Amino acid sequence: MPPPKRILINGGRGRLASLIADHFRAPAHDVRLFSRTPGDGFSGMLDLGQSLFFNRADTVLHLAWSTLPATSEQHPRKEWEHDLPLLEKILVAMTASSTRDQLHFIFFSSGGAVYGNAPGRPNQETDVCHPIGWYGRAKQAAEELIQTHASRHQLPCTILRISNPYGYPVPQSRTQGIIPHALRCAVSGQTLTLWGDGHAKKDFLYYTDFLSALEQIINRRLTGTFNLCAGESHSVREVIALVEKHTGRTVALKCQPGPEWDVQDSRLANERIVAATDWQPQVSLSEGIRRAAAGYTHH
């Protein structure tokens, strides 16, 4: 067993962050959560601008981000006002820490949004990114900021271009995540509004596969840029068919034109992370939706 690590999680109130915190908590590791709104067990994120906060840390997971792809289009360049200055402040403080050599910084980027539409094959980490929305452009700018600090100050950094993790509860108000929304509509009888005709393809990663990959990345102090994904893409129509199969209910659909910034063909290669670790995704999309459906239908 690797020795316990002190893990700091920025953006700790998000659903993915709480999932990670629950997975890594004591006795295995000492986890501290940071948020823009401190209190209730969360430290203030602005405190991370002080290098002393990193003096006993091993791993820093940066999930703090103020937008989703849809909200980013409503407030163009919001990330340049909030997210990128915060990220730079944290990187500067880490660099100034007396124990920076033991720090490992992991940034949660976006697979689909950063690459844009696939070039007729799955995107690899060496491909030039062509983001088509503000969210993807902002994540790309964050990646460049991290790469500059990493090379200039020999800071161990990892950029994870994550596909679409699923299988855990998300708020109904969240304008992201076709699987939980399709399951909710199947069970409740509500109508699911689709962007486009349902032929858009995405990569979906079951949350236990996501967590097991993250565990290996942290334990191995893996650095560099990696696609964290299932390595196969499915259309929205395929997702809905699996939701209907595993709930035994029909999903009522209403189609509306897809927004220009929504990536229609997201395909990600995972060979790089598979080669660097012992990790392989274990849960197929059908099995993942079956497990998620069981959670919805037993509520």
Contacts 24+ apart (CB under 8 A), 210-215: 210/162, 210/165, 211/19, 211/20, 211/23, 212/279, 212/282, 213/273, 213/277, 213/279, 213/281, 214/20, 214/23, 214/106, 214/160, 215/23, 215/24
Q: Is residue 194 part of a domain?
A: no
Q: In whole angstroms, what is the distance from residue 11 CA to residue 32 CA?
A: 11
Q: What phi, psi does 118 have (nearest 5°)? A: -65, 145
162: domain CATH number is 3.40.50.720
> Residue 229's CB: how many other CB atoms inside 10 A?
31
Sign of the torsion formed by the C-alpha atoms of 249, 195, 290 and 191? negative
109 inside domain: yes
Inside any domain, residue 191: no
Element housing 79 (H / E): helix 78-81
pTM for this entry? 0.94
Return d(Cα 173, Cα 14) in angstroms, integer. Answer: 13
With tokens 């020795």, the residue in question is 3
Range of the domain at 140: 6-167+205-231+266-282
Do 189 and 270 form a contact (C-beta atoms < 8 A)? Answer: no
**Total number of domains in the chain:** 1
Say how many residues make up the chain: 299
- DSSP letters spanning 182-226: HHHHHHH-PEEEEETTS--EEEEEEHHHHHHHHHHHHHHT--EEE
The per-residue pLDDT for 286 is 98
Flag whether 180 is in a domain: no
The string of DSSP codes covering 235-256 is: EHHHHHHHHHHHHS-PPEEEEE
Q: Is residue 37 part of a domain?
A: yes
Instruction: Give me the pLDDT at residue 174, please.
Output: 62
Question: Which pLDDT belongs to residue 195?
Answer: 87
Backbone angles phi, psi at 186, to 5 degrees: -60, -45
DSSP 85: H
Do the domain assignments include residue 289? no
Residue 47 has a pLDDT of: 73
Q: Is 42 within 8 Å of 18 (Cβ atoms)?
A: no
Q: How far is CA 30 from CA 23, 79, 121, 178, 285, in A?
A: 11, 30, 41, 33, 32
Cα dist from 295 to 141, 180, 288, 291, whole Å: 38, 11, 11, 7
Q: Does a structural domain hold residue 94?
A: yes
Secondary structure of residue 107 in the 3-state scheme: strand
Q: What is the pLDDT along the chain (299 residues), one digit of tens a residue?
A: 677 889 999 999 888 999 999 999 877 899 999 998 888 888 887 777 777 778 888 999 999 999 988 899 999 999 999 999 999 999 999 998 888 889 999 999 999 999 999 999 999 999 999 999 999 999 999 999 999 999 999 999 999 999 999 998 776 666 568 999 999 999 999 999 998 889 999 999 999 999 999 999 999 999 999 999 999 999 999 999 999 999 999 999 999 998 889 999 999 999 999 999 989 999 999 999 999 999 876 54
Whether residue 176 is contained in a domain is answered as no
Nearest to 268 by CA among 163, 180, 167, 135: 163
At residue 151, the pLDDT reads 94
